[in-house]
Amino acid sequence: MKTKLFFLFLVITVSETFTQNYIPMLHPDNSWKVAIFLNPYNPPNPPNPETLYEYYSIGDIETFNNQDYYRIILNNSPSCLLREDSNGKVYLYDESTNEESLLFDFTLQTGDTFYMAGSAYENYNFCSYFAIAGYDDLTVQSVDYQEIAGQQRKVITFHQSGYYGNFQWIEGIGSRNGFALMWEMIDITDGSLLSCFQNNQGTFLFNGATSCNLDTSNFKANFTSVIFPNPVTAVSKVQFSSEITIDTIKIYDLTGKLISEEKINTTNFMLNRSKFNPGIYFLQFFNNHKLISNTKFVVN
């Protein structure tokens, strides 16, 4: 009898040792810096390669369909809407379709399959300007716990990989390839990597980064742009804020080809359907040769 009780005690103790409460990703103290390796030409010899950075933080709570979402702030401007439950599922709300999709699921176990919402040719509103889904499904290769950013965190590794190895999700942080970046933009980027993560316990470097500057003062606060209607079916208007002067706009297609580069001196311009083939396009705003913001649009 004593042996049975001791064995039961041992099982409970071991279970408690390897069981921990979910570490939330959407904590107001969290912030992220992501390196985007932009290469809008075919490698290996791009004429103008550059590294861009995206800075993420947690904004205010907004309510849609009786659900509370955190507004994610990207480079000082409002971005996507996310919420998470206590089990480790993170959801993305698409304001244009009024639909919710599962972005992360930290209840996954080895062998499980995760469906990735948003294929390469869908107008899907990820948090990053450069993110699309390259796979329909991800299959879990392994699940373990590692000491990361000062805590034991669940790490999910997938069989599928990108430019920088197998995809990994880190509990309470997100993707090792970025904040909620799902997949590298085919032929537009050479990929992306999380540079650093900051919370109330400190600043933590990732993927070989040697420093972490989360100062977003280089970005003009509240620069916003709107394309309506989007998708473009005839003529759509691009309207953007006047808080910073935009003097050049560039448009790339999904293969990385520069479709259009124009000088402008107003806060709006028109997109004419007749000038584009069906597909996804990426619009960049510049001030004095400096990239200020990115967005994307779809032509049906």
Distance CA 57, CA 214 (A): 10
- Do 57 and 195 lie in a common domain? yes
Strand partners, 157: 142, 168
- Per-residue b/e over 111-139, b at no fewer than 16 CB within 10 Å? eeebebbbeeeebbbbbbbbbbbebeebe
- Do 189 and 291 lie in a common domain? no
Strand partners, 142: 157
The number of helices, as runs of H, and strands, as runs of E, in the chain is: 1, 20
Q: For the segment 13-54, what is each residue's pLDDT rounded down to a tens digit?
A: 444 334 468 999 999 999 999 887 766 544 445 445 567 788
pTM above 0.85, yes or no: no
Contact 173, 104 (CB under 8 A): no
> Tell me, what CATH number does 257's domain have?
2.60.40.3080
Domain of residue 235 covers 225-299
- Do 131 and 237 lie in a common domain? no
- Do 267 and 185 lie in a common domain? no
- Do 26 and 167 lie in a common domain? yes
- Do 196 and 47 lie in a common domain? yes
Last residue of a domain, one of 175, 205, 235: 205
What is the tally of structural domains in the chain?
2
Q: Is residue 6 part of a domain?
A: no
- Do 159 and 279 lie in a common domain? no
Q: For the segment 111-158, what is each residue's pLDDT rounded down to a tens digit?
A: 999 987 654 445 456 677 665 555 568 899 999 999 999 999 999 999
Contact 264, 270 (CB under 8 A): no
- Do 186 and 230 lie in a common domain? no
Q: For the segment 62-85, what is each residue's pLDDT rounded down to a tens digit?
A: 999 999 999 998 887 788 899 999
- Do 106 and 147 lie in a common domain? yes
Last residue of a domain, one of 154, 174, 205: 205
Q: Is residue 214 part of a domain?
A: no
